[in-house]
Amino acid sequence: MAACTEFTCSHCAFKVEAWDDGNRYLTDQDGKRHYFYHPGDLTEMRAFAEAQMGGVMTEADYLAFLHERCGNEGDWLCLKCGCQRRRDPKRDPMQCPNCGQQKLRGTDKLEGRTCPKCGKGTFHGEMTAVS
């Protein structure tokens, strides 16, 4: 179950979508991220872990694997230049790759913020979809 809130600028109608559940991933040996979504994500994550480790894992092994390799990327908006990026705040540098400012803000926390596109309006959120 994921809910979507759409934030719209009161001045220029710039829109940003915010999903409440993020993008869960596991990293492989090379550090590459593999994403897992509903439904089937739990069994797929387990199968991925066992494929990575080369065999059936105990519960304790699996939990240790998750602790080391599991993360969740949220959607972030740069309040300086308006570009959107996926970031895991626990692992990724929270700096905008486009303008270099540390102005990234979670897209679910845009209510009342000044729009970076026009610099005049503010965002107002409305729940639009549940999938």
Q: Which residues are near Zn ion by CB under 5 A?
A: 9, 11-12, 14, 78, 80-81, 96, 98-99, 115, 117-118, 121
What is the maximum span of the chain, computed from C-alpha positions, in angstroms?
57
CB of 123 to Zn ion, least distance (A): 8
CB of 13 to Zn ion, least distance (A): 7
Among residues 14 and 62, whose Cβ is nearest to Zn ion? 14
Nearest CB to Zn ion, comparing residues 3 and 118: 118
Nearer to Zn ion, 26 or 78 (CB): 78
Q: Cβ of residue 39: shortest distance to Zn ion, in angstroms?
A: 35
Q: Are 5 and 18 in contact (CB under 8 A)?
A: yes
Q: Which is nearer to Zn ion, 4 or 118 (CB)?
A: 118
| Cα distances (Å, whole numbers) of residue 127 to 15, 90, 108 | 13, 27, 11
| Of 84, 72, 74, nearest in space to 16 by CA | 84
CB of 127 to Zn ion, least distance (A): 20
Is 126 within 8 Å of 5 (Cβ atoms)? Answer: yes
Q: How many residues does the chain have?
A: 131
